[in-house]
Amino acid sequence: MGAFSRRAWVVAGVVLAAPGFGTAVASAAEAAAAPIDEVIVTASRRNETLQDTALAVATVDPQTLAVGGLTTLEDVVNYTPGVYFRGGSAPIDNGITMRGVSTFTSAPTVGVYIDDVPIGSGNGSASGAELMLDVMKAGMERIELIKGPQGTLYGASSMGGLIRYVTPDPTKAELSGSASVDMSAIDHGNSSQRYTGRVMAPIVADRFGVSLSGYYEDVGGFIDRIPESATGAAKNVNGYENYGGMAKLAGNITDRFSASLLGLHDKTTFHGRNTVALDGPPFVPANGPFDTDTAYSLDESKFSLIAGTLNYEFDFANLISSTSNQERTVTSTTDLVADFGPLVALFCGCTVDNAPFTGTTTTDRFVQEIRLVSREKPRAAGNFDWSIGAIYSKEESGNGQRLAGLPTNFVLLDVNIPSELKETAGFGNLTYYVTPQFDVTAGVRVAKVKASIAIDDGPEILVGDTPPTNVDDTVDTYSFSARYRPKDSLSFYARAASGYRPAAANLPLRDVNGNNVAPVMVESDTLWSYEAGAKGYVGDGRLTYDVAAWWLKWENLQARIYVNGAMTGGNANSDVTAYGFEGALGYATANDFKVTASLAYTHSTLDDDETSAFGARGGENLPGIPQWTWAVRGERSFTLASGTRASIGLGMRYTDSQDTGFEGGTGANGATITPLIYNFVIDSNVITDLHVALERGNFGVSFYATNLFDEYGYSSGTARPAVGFIRATASVIQPRTVGAILSYKF
């Protein structure tokens, strides 16, 4: 254990010996100072107590986290054992996995919802796995992290789990609002500023209301560009600017009919990346610990969503209709004259001073869902709860690449790769109460998937047009669960469920003879997961707990395949077996002392030698999956003699070492296996966060330090083959950041 880790334990001991320390993340093992039954979640698409939900669910209050300077989706994930963050090279780079279900393509294994609306892309051509939307600052009421496959309830691309943003209901609120100013400084970098505001206002009491929120942040960087980069030296290049907002109008039009309209917009701009080059193997920083060789770029991400929900209450059931349309555009322009200037000059026969390369990823997704959900009945033997529904999703994506030469503006490459993913599905869930204490649930979803992909190239110099490739697929998913509640303070559950990622059309890859060596179709991959858990509390709910053990089998996993140095899509020839457990404890006293501790273990490995895709021996770990993670947070609140309310909070989070690729070696048949995703190990780390807050009347102030001991490490990394060498890079954990927040509430 390093010096920083030892100091973290010393601080933890001092604070634990003091009045206490605080929590912002709630799970079944945390319900503040009240029994766990009072925590209501909608992970099962019904309003249920956390203890009654036959799922492993953690909930987060973004406002409470923000007091300690923790404002990103990455911060949430880092305090949720069993959920892993893989990203950080850019502010929009949010790759997330759950329970050992890693990603080998750009198609996600974790779904994202806002209320009843699926967002993001399930299409690997649109980088859906890397571009998960972070709207932590948009005035969300809470975030639910649901572990395990959710195929029957939430559809494709949720085979590892789901992140669900839940917006507030303005019809139930009195006039209220808040505003905050957050100023901070990053060690080894520069300063940041963040402004947020929100208001909830009833229009007609208990009938109509509106919720508005907005945010702006200018976040400092800490990565420096070296002089040898294509665009020369620069300081703190990974800073960014982000702004957006959310508006929600909701109304109870009659006693039976209600409606809501939601709009959300987010825009991020940045000009450099948190990408540190590594030399190896063995892989070590090629330059300084905070130095990058990447060039200056013009990067922008824009996301817009509009969604409407209608709800009509029949005597026997609720009819719910959800309609949404989302658009996202991500562009990046970089001068690649050093790499491709001579090539452009060769074709144009002209002088090339600049060679701007622009990559553009677009997604336009329309979703219509309708479902009928039975009205809640008492838990009595012979009663049923049920839901049935259908969903249609159409996603049109584009992947553009343009390379030109200046000053003549000769266009060498102007390619767009349009792709489409359509899903039509029907689903249903049925719960039967065998006794008031014991019930069983079965769910099914049948999805019809259609996908296509093509190539359109304007100049047709380097790449020619390719007509659309079309594929069809049908996928069934199932879930079965049982709940037993012998007493109010204890419940057990067992669950078996499947999940999948949709099939995708594949672009042809020609060999020297013109033959296609790529699979025409990237087939669906599927998994079955089995878990058992217990949730409960002791006495009056001061001590709470939540434990679960799980095992899964993942088959036909989608992967990138390399043919003669070129990359295409396909399926691996090895299955994956993963298993693990999660546990959480919470304790709250009558004198405002609260603490939670959670622990997760994950073992996720290849069953056999993998020789058709990335190359690995059987038994090797999946990349980006640490075996052990734990987190502890707490808070001690008290009132000063002046009447000011004060609190001190401490959080610590541990991430075990993790592989980024594969070692290869001698396979089971004696043949040598050469990995195409090379491995280097990301070391384990302990990160400590601390904050002190004061509140008097409507005003509050807090002082915080994240990564208190300035622990150096990586959040992700990769080592992939390039022409004649291995290109290895890593993203650095944000250094110690010290800040202060001034807030006002009414």
Q: What's the pLDDT tens digit per position in 263-320?
A: 999 999 999 999 999 987 778 889 999 999 988 999 999 999 999 999 999 999 999 9
Other Cβ atoms within 10 Å of 535 Cβ, number: 28
Asked if CATH classification 1.10.340.30 holds for the domain at 3-745, the reply, yes or no, is no
- The token pair at 614 is 């990335």
pLDDT of residue 678: 87
The CA distance from 684 to 676, in Å, is 24
| DSSP designation for 117 | E
What residues of the chain score a pLDDT lower than 70?
1-41, 43, 511-512, 563-566, 721-724
User: Is residue 208 a contact partner of residue 171, using CB atoms and an 8 Å limit?
Assistant: yes
Within 36-166, residue ranges assigned H as helices are 62-66, 73-78, 151-154
Q: What is the pLDDT of residues 327-352, one digit of tens each?
A: 999 999 998 887 788 889 999 989 88
pLDDT of residue 387: 94
Q: What is the pLDDT of residues 16-71, one digit of tens each?
A: 333 333 333 444 334 333 344 356 667 678 778 888 888 899 988 998 899 999 99
The CA distance from 195 to 214, in Å, is 8
The CA distance from 732 to 84, in Å, is 16
The CA distance from 395 to 422, in Å, is 6
Beta carbons within 8 Å of 175's beta carbon, 6+ residues apart: 199, 200, 201, 202, 746
The CA distance from 706 to 507, in Å, is 45
pLDDT of residue 507: 78
User: Is residue 745 a contact partner of residue 176, using CB atoms and an 8 Å limit?
Assistant: yes
pLDDT of residue 39: 63
The CA distance from 123 to 466, in Å, is 19
The CA distance from 453 to 508, in Å, is 10
36-52 burial, b at 16+ Cβ within 10 Å, e below that, comes to: bbebebbbbbbebbbbb
Amino acid occupying residue 511: D
Beta carbons within 8 Å of 437's beta carbon, 6+ residues apart: 379, 484, 485, 486
End-to-end CA gap in the chain: 46
Helix, strand, coil share (%) of the chain residues, nearest 5:
5, 60, 35
The CA distance from 30 to 36, in Å, is 7
**In what order do the strands lie in the sheet containing 161-166?**
25-27, 56-60, 142-147, 161-166, 110-114, 117-119
Domain ranges of the chain: 3-745
Does the predicted TM-score (pTM) go above 0.85? Answer: yes
